[in-house]
Amino acid sequence: MNFENIISECKKCNGIGVIIKKDGSLLDCDCSKRVDYLKRSVNAGIPKIYWKLKKDDYDFFDTIGGKKVVNTSKQRAFKEIMEYIQDFKKNISSGKNIYIWCSQPGRKAGTTLLLTYILRYALKKNMTVLFSPFSFLRGAANDKSYNDATWTEHRKQLIDTDILCLDGVSVFKTEGFAAKERIIEVTDARSYLQKPTLYASYAHPNKYIEMFGPIASSSLSEHNTKFIEIIVKDDNYAEKRVSMNVLVGLLKKLRSQGNIDVSMSDLENIFRS
C-alpha cells in the first residue's frame, strides 16, 4: 500500500516530509507522522475499515420494530474502554486484559471497533500492537504443515508485541488439541510477562475457560482482566423476551398446580435453546 502521495501532496512541507525551522533544524511534518502511523497500522494487521473511525462512529443504538433504541450495554462497554484508555499507562504496565463478548454472532455489537480504539491509541504512543483474527491463529496453530520452526517464529511475534488483539474468539473442537495447546502457550506467556491481550469474542468467558482449561482460568482472572458483555436487543431479542415472560407465567401457573419439579434451570434451557 502506497502512502507517499500523502507526503507529496502536503502543502505544509511542500512534499518533502519535514519542516525546516528558522534555526536550520528539521522537524517531522504531520504528513510524515501520518504516513508512519498508517504503515504501522498495516504492519499491525488492523483492518483498513477501522483506521479513520472516531469515537463518534460507535453506534449506541439497536433497531427494534423499526425504531432506534439506546443500548445500555453498548454505552457501558464504550465507557469501560474509554476508562481503560484514560488509565492506559497503569493498565499496560499491569498487563490488564480485556475480554469483551457478544454471544449473538452476526449482530452489530461493535466489539472489534471498541478494541481498535485501544490499538490505535497505543500506536500513537509508539507501542507495538498486533491484530490477529482468531480463526487465523487457530488455523496456524492446528496446521500440521505449519512446522515447528515457522510456529516458533510466529509464536515469538505474538508474545513479544506490546498489545495483542484476538478478534472473533470462538469455542471449538480440535483433533489432538494441537491448536488449544499452542494458543494457550501464547496467552499464558503473555500473562506471565504482564502483556495485555484483548479478546473480542462470540463466547462467554466461562465457555472459553472451559474449553482451554485451568491455565486459561489463571490468565483470564478477575484480577487481571476486564470483562465486558454486550447484548444486542434487536427484533429477535424482543421476541425472545416476550417468550421468556410467557414461560415465566406458565411456570408460575404449573407450580401453583403442584408441578414442583419444574425449575428455573428448565426455564433457562428453554430460553437459550
- 142-193 tens-digit pLDDT: 666 666 677 788 889 999 999 999 998 887 655 446 678 888 889 999 999 9
- pLDDT for the residue 63: 80
- pLDDT for the residue 257: 66
- 88-118 tens-digit pLDDT: 999 999 999 999 999 876 678 899 999 999 9
Residues 163, 125: contact at Cβ < 8 Å? no
What are the cell numbers at 129? Answer: 500492537
The Cα 96–Cα 78 span in angstroms is: 17
The upper half-sphere exposure of residue 126, i.e. CA atoms within 13 Å in the direction of its Cβ, equals: 1
For the chain, the first-to-last Cα distance in angstroms comes to: 46
The Cα 95–Cα 74 span in angstroms is: 24
Q: What is the DSSP letter of 58?
A: S
- pLDDT for the residue 106: 66
For 19-51, give the secondary structure using H, E and C. Answer: EECCCCCEEECHHHHHHHHHHHHHHHCCCHHHC
Report percent pLDDT > 70 for the chain. 78
Q: Is 108 exposed, middle or buried (0-12, 13-18, 19+ CB in 10 A)?
A: middle
- 34-83 tens-digit pLDDT: 899 889 999 999 999 998 889 899 988 888 878 888 899 999 999 999 99
**To 10 degrees, the CA torsion angle through 212, 217, 220, 221?**
170
For residue 272, pLDDT over 50 is answered with: no
Q: Locate cell 408441578: which residue? A: 259
Residue 189, phi then psi, degrees to nearest 5: -65, -40
Q: What is the DSSP letter of 98?
A: E
Q: In whole angstroms, how far apart are CA 13 and each of 3, 17, 28, 38, 40?
A: 16, 6, 9, 19, 22
User: DSSP string spanning 144-207?
Assistant: TTS-HHHHHHHHHHHHHSSEEEEEEE-----GGGHHHHHHHHHHHHHHHTT--EEEEESS-HHH
Least confident of 13-27, 29-43, 82-96, 258-272: 258-272
Residues 102, 62: contact at Cβ < 8 Å? no
